[in-house]
Amino acid sequence: MKKILLLPILILLSLCSDYSRAEEIVVNGQASVWVGYSDEWQAGIRYIPEMRVSHPLAEGSDIDGEISLNAYIFDDDTDLKFYRLWLRYLSSQFEMRLGLQKINFGPAKIFRSLMWFDRVDVRDPLELTDGVYALLGRYYFLNNANIWVWGLYGNDDLKGLETFETDKDSVELGGRYQFPVPRGEMAFSFHHRNIDKNDWKGKMFRSMSNGTENRYAIDGSFDVGVGLWFEASAGEIGVTTRKSGWEKFLTLGTDYTFDIGPGIHVLYEHFIESSDSEITGEEDRKYSLSALSVDFSIGVLDSFNAIGYYDWEEKKANYYLGWERIYDNWMVNLSIFSSRKDETSLYSGNGFLCMLTYNH
């Protein structure tokens, strides 16, 4: 068990052991079952039980926390693990959260250049993603600006858009400053980590003497009659003390809701990824994708979403078509898709997926 979790576990259990001390204890869960076909038949079942605890403190501050598990059976894979486990101190302008948590930011919807710590798939109706072990602090200024500071430890697997794993014995540090501007907001973000040199050598077949990565990002979103946003991120990987390689990501997006019938929401994003020769081991590489999404609702129960993707290098188009019906506690989803192979996604390859979800 990760050492960073010991404090949240002990305090949460202490709060739960005395119901009179806690202002609120909420227990709920989400059960889902799915079946589909993509080159071969696939089926699975998942249950995520969740408990939230809150306790008031003096002078308008609170302490709260969450414990949730991810139990699933997917084809031949069975697992039970923590999904979230965090403890938070919260006041009117400040919060600090410790434990296994979800950290994400940025205005992009489909191609997220700022997908640093999560892997939320826009096609997933449940928006599931593994958390990270972290200490996150946020301060909110009165002018709607806010500043984030974080430290991560014990996250050995690849996160977000990472190409190389993080050194398991090192701490990752970073922050973000978000501030209002006319008709929108902008932000600057930074993150530092040490790269696992064995993972680098296994993928690049050569040694690394420095092994650090510094990420720099700027993003903004604006309302000028239509929605406009951008995310730009650059990661500098130190190969040696004198030589560095760069991974760069850029997302440009816009959306608009047409007042036709129930309202048709149209969204477009363009994404560019590039890496220089120090990262690829070959010539500089550039990769471009575009996506057009259309979604609308019919009544209060049914909604539809269609996304078309185009790969400018491979000159190939892919698509996603989804229908969703929501009852009080039930949700039914049916999707048909064509996409690139991705072992981490249920929407990989060409096929369909039916999902039934119950929330309690």
Q: Kindly report whether the global pTM for this prediction surpasses the value 0.85.
A: yes
Domain ranges of the chain: 102-359
CA distance 263 to 245: 46
Per-residue DSSP letters for 4-64? GGHHHHHHHHHHHH-TTT-SEEEEEEEEEEEEEEESEEEEEEEEEEEEEEEEE-STT-EEE
Domain 102-359 CATH (choose: 2.40.160.100, 3.40.50.150, 3.40.228.10, 3.40.50.720)? 2.40.160.100
Higher pLDDT, 79 or 189: 189
pLDDT of residue 1: 45
Distance between CA atoms of residues 53 and 27, nearest Å: 9
**75 vs 31: which has the higher pLDDT:** 31
CB 170 within 8 A of CB 194: yes
Q: How far is CA 97 from CA 33, 105, 192, in A?
A: 31, 16, 20
Average pLDDT over residues 16-32: 76
Local confidence band at 77 (pLDDT 50, 70, 90 cut-offs): confident
Q: What is the pLDDT of residues 325-349, one digit of tens each?
A: 999 999 999 999 999 887 778 898 8
More confident residue, 15 or 105: 105
Please compute the mean of the pLDDT values over residues 28-50 and round it to a whole number. 94
Mean pLDDT computed over 5-15: 65
Do the beta carbons of residue 280 and residue 135 sit within 8 Å?
no
Q: Give the three-state DSSP class for 163.
A: coil
Which of 274, 307, 287, 271 lies closest to 113, judged by CA?
Answer: 271
pLDDT at 20: 52
Helix, strand, coil shares of the chain as percentages rounded to 5?
10, 60, 35
Taking each continuous run of H as one helix and of E as one strand, the counts in the chain are 3, 18
Q: Is 101 helix (H, G, I), strand (E, B) or coil?
A: strand
**Tokens standing for residue 304:** 């539809």
The mean per-residue pLDDT over the stretch 3-26 comes to: 64
Helix (H, G, I), strand (E, B) or coil at 277: helix
